[in-house]
Chain A
Amino acid sequence: MYEGRMPEKLGELIDRYHERFKDDANDGFSLFDTTLSHDALVVRLERALVEGKPYDPQAEEWDEKTRKAVESGEMIF
């Protein structure tokens, strides 16, 4: 079974992020969906927590074609 272990700091940051935005319908963050490097991701998640606005990799990193393919069911992750 693949174990997606990560540095503890990032893990704790993700835990805090999930707790903070668990009821926010605009939350789009998932480790599956981001292509940011480790350091960039830490900075981005910290920024989201400071600003109180969830991070949405689909809006920030995906192209329109991919977004539509996911919504239409053409791409199943």
Chain B
Amino acid sequence: MGINLVSSAQMFPAYAGMNRVDAPEALFFKKAIAFMKSRVPVTKDEWTALEPKLRFRAFTVAALSSHDGIEQVRRMITSAIDEGKDVGQFWTEARALDAAGRAAEFAREQPEYLEFVGIDDGNQSDICYALTHPAIILPTTHPFWKTHWPPLHFKCRSTVRGIYSEEMDQIREENPEWKPSDVESLDQEPVAKGFGGNPIETESFYQMTPSMVERAREYGIMHDIEVFAESLGIKRRDIEIISAEGKKTMASPKPRAKKTISSAVEISFSAIQDARIKTMAERAFKNAPDEVRTIVAAHIDDFSYRLAPPRGRSYYSPSTKTIVVRRSSGPDVFVHEFGHGLDYEMLSSFIKSAEFKAAFNEDLSSLIDTKTGTIFELGERLKQDMVDKGWENLPAASDLFSGLTCGRIQGRWGHPMRYWHIPGRREVEVFADLFTVKASGDTALWSELSAYASRTCKAVEDALARR
């Protein structure tokens, strides 16, 4: 399948869920031919720049197209475009495609705030003018973005940019009085009918429609589509294929259950002076099981807490018993550093105990050959699960196995090799990582990780229970 033959038009069915003015409620494959009007091929560079799910979306339609002779139609239509027909339509759809890519990117790496960005010239619409004078800046999770995701009207040129925590910190430091936009009092033109829907909310931009599934099976290319999706890093579970009856025809594993623990163990965080750290700590142990909450409640007052300076790092200082966290840190970072504190102070350096060392070494020996570094079968399965189950993007899980195996098995997060060569650091971090997972209350994840570090997991559980 020549990737340079894929056109933005072929992705148009992806927006069936966006309620465009002229879009059908549901896409039927033959109607895709009609949508080929005003489409031009994208270059290889443009293709590469596309968000993976959009590429997958393009591939599925492209694969079907080649089998249905649509390429011939496309060439005819392309020549029509050369004559300047329907350019506005193409522009709007191109903007929609760009906006969907941004939405997908922000879903994967969520900024703290989003800013509505318009082009302030004589052609700016009243709709977009109202949202850019002054510019709307709101939290990424604000419901405004569910209904105001560009394009907001035909030929809309506006877009959205993400503002990440470091930039927000700078904004707040420069203007302590800064507040997000007040959309309630906004004198706003209504968004054009059928526009403004967030493509991530609908998740329709990479779904295959029933008729596409039917065609793909008829042509025997369903397997090719699945293989291609995997090559783009799109997990099988993310390929939502809805049958004509509305049922999913491709098995989708259930997301990990995030059980909220109803606990009788109260933790008072009153000893933490800084409001931001206090909030972080409260969130950090919100779902923690009782054995964790008990030990935290007993020792939360034993440490000092402070924010790291700008560009500083989060760490635990054994000499001053201080937990230092970056202001942009998530709750997991607080738990991790608290875990270091617990290990050093309350558990008398549990990681130096014979019990922990034996468990650590046994688990290590089951994953890799400690003399040659050869990865055993269990280790190979772990490597696969790191990818398949997304553990490579879970800092605690990724760092856990990186520390256990001295970097032989790791995801994208973890301490560097040099750090692992400092005596005792691997054990220290493995304990803190397991404490972080335990404190999250994600019992399913704990159970899955235990399959690869059963003895160490049990040793940590036992140590926490003894306290």
Contacts and interface: CB of A to CB of B under 8 A. Distances in A.
B395 A77 contact: no
B414 A30 contact: yes
Interface residues of A, number: 37
Interface in B299-350: 311, 313-319, 330-333, 337, 340, 344
Nearest to A23: B373
A43 interface: no
Q: Which of A5, A7, A22, A33 has the most CB of B within 10 A?
A: A5
Interface in B219-258: 232-233, 258
Contact of B408 (A22, A24, A31): A22
A27 to B, nearest CB: 5
Contact of B315 (A12, A58, A76): A76
Size category of the B interface is 35 or more
B418 interface: yes
Chain A interface mostly helix, strand, loop or mixed?
A: loop
B432 to A, nearest CB: 8
A30 B394 contact: no
A11 B318 CA distance: 33
B88 interface: no
Contacts of B113: none
A6 B414 contact: no
A56 B398 CA distance: 20
B417 A25 contact: yes
B33 interface: no
Contacts of A2: 330-333, 394-396
26 contacts: A1-B258, A2-B331, A2-B394, A3-B394, A4-B398, A4-B412, A4-B413, A6-B109, A6-B393, A8-B108, A8-B233, A18-B407, A18-B410, A25-B418, A25-B421, A27-B417, A32-B313, A35-B311, A57-B416, A73-B318, A74-B319, A76-B317, A76-B318, A76-B425, A77-B415, A77-B419
